[in-house]
């Protein structure tokens, strides 16, 4: 038997009960608190009927909050004609109700409306997918490249060695670092994240290693550095390639001796800390150019993980978009309920040069600015990005194939450029040149597809 929640005053409740019971509806009479508790537990409740014939402004606010919380249900309102002059009520009816009926009701029309609402609610696909369907280790994604990444993180559970994470900006390197910490034996201890690129050059040493009182002008008291604060746990050094060369020496000493000296002190402090570093630039190239110490690079590059760009994560864009839409949407005030099909298609074919960070920003802007029930490509600022995979030149296709071959060779050789070049039968200098040219052409082709 179909169930309907009925919130109505005694006289109207008795009238509705007689009508609905005669049509084989099971009526549930509840106060609002009871509804909020029971809706999540009872999956058979799909429709609600509420009497708003003399609702006060406070009651309208409560009903708006209630209908916002009860996901997967459709609501029908009973109102008097005079109440339709209330702008707040009209806004509520338009945005939160499947239908409304003026009193006295037309029984046949009300029963048909309830049937339609019940059928529509049963079609609703739950937005809260189980965690194992969305991804793993606090990350969203089920694409092959993400499953490979999850497996590699799992393999580090009993390992305490340094890890170097590479990947483009916005691909979630800090999430990977946090997952590495959570699966390790250090999960109970601090996880400290430091963006080396964001720290002023004159403060970076003090921030990392700490200082004693009077070590420099303005040092009015002792300060523990980030490395010392992470003792027993993990420190994540993002954008490690931007660390000045003199501080690279100090960090190398930390990895070699597991000790630091605060600025202004000669006392050695023993540390027990795991270092995870990340960079969106090619550190091996930086070593070749003298911008990064080779000995530090090899100290950090014990375990190497790669965060894939969003364009390589087949099928993950829709998962991520829905996840962040739900996270960024305030149910009580939001107009939009999701994405239209064209928006999902365009997002799936867009190149996402800013990766997941760009996706989050576009969804946030659309949620704030759009007045549509379903977000469109225009709301996301992607109105000109129409998928057209056929319009690429031969040079662009060749460049894309070369880029894929180079990436495969680098993965097989743990990102060792010299070994990858030997396997491909070219010199290291040629590899750098081909990589740069192929990446540029392939990127242009992907942008053309989305333009």
What single string gives the DSSP state of each residue in 292-348? S-HHHHHHHTTEEEEEPPGGGSTTHHHHHHHHHHHHH--TTT----EE-HHHHHHHH
Residue 408 Ramachandran class (φ > 0 left, ψ -120 to 50 alpha, else beta): alpha
pTM for this entry: 0.65
- Are 208 and 248 in contact by the 8 Å Cβ rule? The answer is no
Is beta strand 234-238 parallel, antiparallel or unpaired with respect to 374-375?
unpaired
* Tokens describing residue 74: 């459709």
The end-to-end CA distance of the chain, in Å, is 52
The pLDDT of residue 310 is 95
**Residue reference for tokens 């309102």:** 77
Q: Minimal CA–CA distance to 183: which of 149, 161, 158?
A: 158
Q: What are phi and psi of 111, to 5 degrees?
A: -65, -40
CA angle 301, 149, 227 (to 5 degrees): 45
Query: Taking phi first (over 0 means left), then psi (-120 to 50 degrees means alpha), and beta for anything else, what does residue 218 get?
Result: left
d(CA 373, CA 177): 37
DSSP per residue over 260-283, as a string? Answer: EE-BT---EEE---EEEEEESS-H
Pick from 50, 70, 48, 51: nearest CA to 117: 48
pLDDT at 129: 52
Mean pLDDT of successive 10-residue stretches along the chain, which has 451 residues: 84 88 84 56 75 86 78 87 89 89 92 91 60 76 93 92 94 95 94 89 80 76 86 94 88 87 83 92 90 94 94 92 88 74 90 94 92 89 57 66 78 80 85 74 46 38
């Amino acid at each position: 038997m179909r169930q309907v929640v009925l919130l109505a005053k005694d006289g109207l409740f008795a009238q509705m009960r007689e009508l609905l019971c005669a049509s084989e509806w099971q009526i549930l009479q509840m106060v609002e608190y009871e509804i909020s508790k029971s809706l999540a537990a009872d999956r058979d409740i799909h429709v609600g009927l509420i009497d708003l014939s003399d609702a006060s402004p406070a009651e309208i606010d409560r009903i708006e909050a209630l209908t916002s919380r009860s996901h997967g249900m459709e609501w029908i309102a009973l109102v008097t004609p005079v109440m339709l002059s209330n702008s707040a009520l009209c806004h509520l009816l338009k945005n939160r109700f499947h239908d409304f009926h003026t009193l006295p009701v037309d029984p046949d029309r009300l029963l048909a409306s309830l049937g339609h609402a019940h059928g529509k609610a049963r079609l609703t696909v739950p937005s809260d997918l189980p965690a194992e369907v969305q991804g793993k280790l606090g990350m969203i994604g089920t694409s092959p490249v993400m499953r490979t990444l999850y497996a590699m993180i799992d393999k580090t559970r009993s390992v305490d060695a340094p890890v170097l994470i590479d990947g483009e900006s916005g691909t979630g390197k800090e999430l990977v670092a946090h997952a590495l910490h959570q699966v390790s034996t250090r999960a109970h201890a601090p996880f400290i994240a430091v963006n080396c690129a964001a720290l002023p050059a004159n403060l970076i040493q003090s921030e990392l290693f700490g200082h004693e009182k009077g070590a420099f002008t303005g040092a009015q008291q002792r300060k523990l550095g980030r490395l010392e604060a992470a003792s027993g746990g993990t420190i994540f050094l993002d954008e490690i390639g931007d660390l000045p060369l003199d501080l690279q020496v100090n960090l190398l000493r930390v990895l070699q001796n597991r000790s630091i000296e605060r600025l202004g002190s000669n006392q050695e402090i023993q540390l027990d800390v795991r270092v995870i570093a990340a960079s969106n630039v090619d550190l091996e190239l930086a070593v070749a150019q003298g911008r990064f110490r080779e000995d530090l690079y090899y100290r950090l590059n014990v375990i190497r993980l790669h965060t894939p760009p969003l364009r390589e994560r087949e099928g993950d864009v829709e998962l991520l978009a829905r996840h962040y839409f739900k996270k960024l949407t305030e149910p009580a005030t939001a107009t939009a309920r999701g994405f239209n099909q064209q928006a999902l298609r365009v997002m799936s074919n867009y190149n996402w040069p800013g990766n997941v960070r760009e996706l989050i920003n576009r969804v946030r802007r659309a949620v704030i600015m759009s007045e549509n029930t379903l977000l469109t490509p225009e709301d996301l600022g992607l109105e000109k990005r129409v998928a057209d995979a056929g319009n690429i030149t031969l040079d662009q296709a060749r460049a894309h194939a070369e880029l894929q071959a180079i990436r495969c060779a680098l993965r097989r050789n743990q990102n060792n450029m010299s070994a990858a070049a030997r396997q491909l039968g070219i010199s290291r200098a040629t590899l750098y040149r081909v990589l740069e040219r192929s990446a540029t052409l392939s990127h242009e082709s992907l942008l053309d597809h989305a333009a």
